[in-house]
Amino acid sequence: MYAMWAYHLENENRRNLSVTDLKEKYNELFYNNKFVLPRMTMVLTTRCTYRCKECIEMIPYLRKHEDVAKEEIFQDIDNLVSNIDECVFLELIGGEPFLYKDLDAVLAYVVKEDKIRNVAIVTNGTVTLSEEMLSMLKHEKLSVIVSDYGISDKPGTFVDKLREYGICVNVLYEQEWFSAGSCEKRNRGMEELRRQYDKCHAPWWCKTIYKGAMYACIRSIGLYDLGYIDEKQDLLEIRSNCREGIEEFFKRDWCEACDHCDWYTEDHRYCRAGEQVNSSES
């Protein structure tokens, strides 16, 4: 199926493709008369067990940390599926999603939704899971993506437990991240912002849903929270019957958050994934 292939492309072969190739594939998704989202992320909570210095979501620096009400999550899922033909991969993220108190209810809700083909929980592997949760994660639609930053023994134990239960798990070791740099506005011109957005494949393939809105980039959420951007151009409120709005949102070729980020610029630098904020830096 085409959309599965698109997702496959993103994960395994996209480094071998030019941006033009990727965009051609991307456009086919829309002109096939089907609106298929290869990947969508959904924030369940902004609480986390870690305080990663270079977190693209800026979790350690947010003004407050909270769980999204499960009723709001259900509504967002209903709104999403009523406007699309299919979502190939939905990633439930945080913060740390295993801290989310109603994760069992959300998982039970999403696995029943036929238009959502696969669901992954993206975690740092530091939370001890109950027997009930482990049993639930064996569902064929579910998988767990674990980032092991090498700063704790907990993810190793966590992964062993998932494997013991036969749960589908992918582990990311020894990652390097791009540093997004400070939140300050860089005052780049529109052409430069478009080029940056274009090079950063992430927003072309994947948007983020958080509290009733779809965000162009996950960084936009933190930038709104911290008051660095105030115009609502990086988000689209989702409700039933806004399919055209979502399609247009996916076709946008820039976002304000790029003017507060160094990814894919000449100034970009790499950083160690999972390096923690010192208490004096928060």
Q: In this complex, which beta carbon is closest to ligand SF4, that of residue 114 or of residue 267?
A: 267
Closest approach of ligand SF4 to the CB of residue 215, in Å: 9
Q: In this complex, which beta carbon is closest to ligand SF4, that of residue 106 or of residue 255?
A: 255
Closest approach of ligand SF4 to the CB of residue 38, in Å: 16
Closest approach of ligand SF4 to the CB of residue 216, in Å: 7
Closest approach of ligand SF4 to the CB of residue 252, in Å: 11
Binding region for ligand SF4 (CB under 6 A): 180, 196-197, 200, 202-203, 217, 219, 255, 257-258, 261, 263-264
Closest approach of ligand SF4 to the CB of residue 100, in Å: 24
Q: How far is CA 215 from CA 41, 137, 156, 203, 222, in A?
A: 10, 27, 33, 9, 11
Q: In this complex, which beta carbon is closest to ligand SF4, that of residue 84 or of residue 261?
A: 261
Q: In this complex, which beta carbon is closest to ligand SF4, that of residue 81 or of residue 257?
A: 257
Q: In this complex, which beta carbon is closest to ligand SF4, that of residue 67 or of residue 198?
A: 198
Quote the CA–CA distance of 13 and 122 in Å, as a whole number.
21
